[in-house]
Every structure is written in C-alpha cells, then in structure tokens.
Chain A
Amino acid sequence: QKEVEQDPGPLSVPEGAIVSLNCTYSNSAFQYFMWYRQYSRKGPELLMYTYSSGNKEDGRFTAQVDKSSKYISLFIRDSQPSDSATYLCAMSLYQGAQKLVFGQGTRLTINP
C-alpha cells in the first residue's frame, strides 16, 4: 500500500463548478500537508500549506485536513480554464520541506 493515495483522474468539469480533490494517507504521524499545482511541462508550484487538522482558505482555494480520517482535500470554487493542471498532494512528518511524500497527482481539466 502506498503511503499517500491520490486518484490520478483524469477529472473533467465545466467552468464555474466546484472541484474537490482528495488524498488519503496511511501514516498518522504526518503533520504538514501541502497542495501543489503543476502545469504541463512546468515544475510543481506550491498552492496551499497547512499544519494539522482544520481548514485554510486562500481566494478560491480551500484546503481541508481531517487527521482522524487521514484524509485531505482541496476545493476550488468558481473553477476557471486556467485551473486546468495536475494537482499533487504532499505531506511530511517534519516542519521543514525535507522528506515530503507526494501523491500521484490528479489531472484536472476545466471546460469552458
């Protein structure tokens, strides 16, 4: 079993829809949770960074962590075609960026 499971998709939704992206994990010691966005032929860029359980909002993006269920989510409101990308979840035991464990990534397409 992988430490971090993420449905690779592809996921296709109409413009304006609310998108829900999810990851599950097996190691209950993970404390730091991240979401990265990766456009084609580009490196991943950090979208959200959260610590422990709870919600964090940044514009149209909300990251949610449920440590009791070992489940994290990223919600995108009012989705735009420019949101079309691969979204990677990542998590770590440590505060630093070392030893990140990544999910496989979910390929998302927003259709105009």
Chain B
Amino acid sequence: SAVISQKPSRDICQRGTSLTIQCQVDSQVTMMFWYRQQPGQSLTLIATANQGSEATYESGFVIDKFPISRPNLTFSTLTVSNMSPEDSSIYLCSVTQGGNEKLFFGSGTQLSVL
C-alpha cells in the first residue's frame, strides 16, 4: 500500500486564522480524499480532491471554508479557513490505489483551535 505522509501532525491555532495541511503520497494514486474525525463522532468525508480541477465537496462542507488543492497525482493540501473552536478535530488524508476498492489513510493532523 502507498505510504501517506501528512504535515503537520498536530497544531494549536488561534481563532480566525487558517491552517494548511499537506498530504504527500510516495506513489501515484487514483483518488485522494479528505476526512474529518471529530471527538466521539464518525469519520466524515469532507471532499474528494480532484487532480487538475476543483474538489468535490460533500453536503455541509464548502470551498470557502475548506479550500483544497491537488496539483498532481501524489500531493494535496487542505486549508481550514477562519478557524473556530468547532473546527478542532483530526483531519485525515486518504487515498485509493489500483482498482479503487480499498481506502488507505495518513496518520492525520490533530488540530486544536483556541
């Protein structure tokens, strides 16, 4: 399976600021996704990062709040904009390979907003 590196692994941010999370994969992958894991909640899909085009957002998530880039087949970024304490969560990059049947995750970014 692909090796997925996420940076930063954790951060503490002030309300109103923005944080960009990077996801680097060691091989080309078909699809990349961004998930959120809030305390005591299920993993929730934020968006699919599309290479060379705008990301596809799930219901409840918008581009202004979570802009996503995917300039090539191995790299993506997620920005959490104008943060509030409600954005405190783990953000996870995930990818599929081969036949797209299985989803693999990075180690996540633990974000705390004060």
Contact = CB atoms under 8 A, between A and B. Distances in A.
Interface of A: 2, 4, 8, 32, 34, 36, 41-46, 49, 88, 90, 95-105
Interface of A is mostly: loop
B45 A42 contact: no
Interface residues of B, number: 25
Contact of B31 (A43, A95, A98, A103): A98
B24 interface: no
Interface string B38-77: 0011111100100000000000000000000000000000
Contacts, number: 65
B45 A100 contact: yes
A105 B41 CA distance: 8
A2 B103 contact: no
A76 B4 CA distance: 27
A104 B48 contact: no
Contact of B40 (A8, A34, A88, A96): A8
